[in-house]
Amino acid sequence: MGFKKTVGIVLFHAAAFAGSLHETVVAQPGFEHFYNLEYDDALTAFSAQAELNPSSPDAFNHIAQTVLWKEMYRAGMLSSEFVGGTQFVHQPKLVLTAGQQKQFYDALNHAMNLSQEKLAADPNDESALYSIGVSYGLRANYSFVVKKAWRDALKDATAARKAHARLTELDPTFVDAELTQGVNDYIVGSLPFQWKMLGFLAGFHGDKQRGMRTLKEVGDHGRMNRVDAMALLAALYLREHRPAEAIPVLTELTEEFPKNPILKVELDKAVAATR
């Protein structure tokens, strides 16, 4: 499998990592809008959250995420075809206006600066480790879909994994941080040998099946990353020609977010594949 095609797996919410530490999606203003693809309403809610809590990096990560996901949705880049097929590799760069790029980077850089300040004071600050991992994941997605910078995308995805791996060392019960590790396991486990020799992947070999098991665990037991894990897992089930396993996952998501048209399409696709 080619490098570009494999790194494409970071899409379909793989690097969303939504939510604040130990909060549920339901408790987050804006995420009902976000998962129903109502991005303008979500952006309004996240911007208000950032104004109320300007010292927390989480809302700024949410702003950056929403800016990027809105344009990915507009370009038709949130379906499972961009995980399983060659369509994503040949997709032109996602075009953002200068204003959108500024909005994305302003929010993302602010979030990273806030996290880095906290980590400078305490390298074991769990909230900051989580947030910096989110930021790296978002920048990986941006590098992949906007800049088409494959190595930069994988390098940032690896940095996200390392931050969240440290977090799970500090708090083994925090299952949501394992989403990043599961995604990386699947990506790196799918890479050809020569790509695994990259310096920033040294010592990490990945494992596709372990990655999928981790995503299932986050989907079953996670809090703020449960939806992202389930959406990605369903896409990977379809990619791995396991549509029967995707159906219950997509059914639950469709019931929870009934305004999301992509989920309905993916569910129909999974049902059709079992016939």
- Number of structural domains the chain divides into: 1
Residue 193 pLDDT exceeds 70: no
- 203-211 long-range contacts (CB < 8 A, ≥24 apart) are 204/158, 204/161, 210/182, 210/185, 211/181, 211/182, 211/183, 211/184, 211/185, 211/186, 211/187
Q: 38, exposed or middle or buried, with CB in 10 Å at 0-12, 13-18, 19+?
A: middle
What is the value of pTM for the model shown? 0.86
Residue 48: give its domain's CATH number: 1.25.40.10
Per-residue pLDDT tens over the stretch 105-160: 999 999 999 999 999 999 999 999 999 999 999 998 899 888 888 778 878 988 99
Higher pLDDT, 82 or 183: 183
What pLDDT sits at residue 200?
55
What pLDDT sits at residue 23?
53
| Domain boundaries, position 22 | 3-273
**What span, in angstroms and rounded, lies between the C-alpha atoms of 143 and 156?**
9
Average pLDDT along the chain? 84
Per-residue pLDDT tens over the stretch 6-44: 444 444 344 444 444 445 565 566 888 999 999 999 999
Per-residue pLDDT tens over the stretch 223-262: 878 888 999 899 899 988 999 999 999 999 999 999 999 9
**What span, in angstroms and rounded, lies between the C-alpha atoms of 107 and 130?**
16
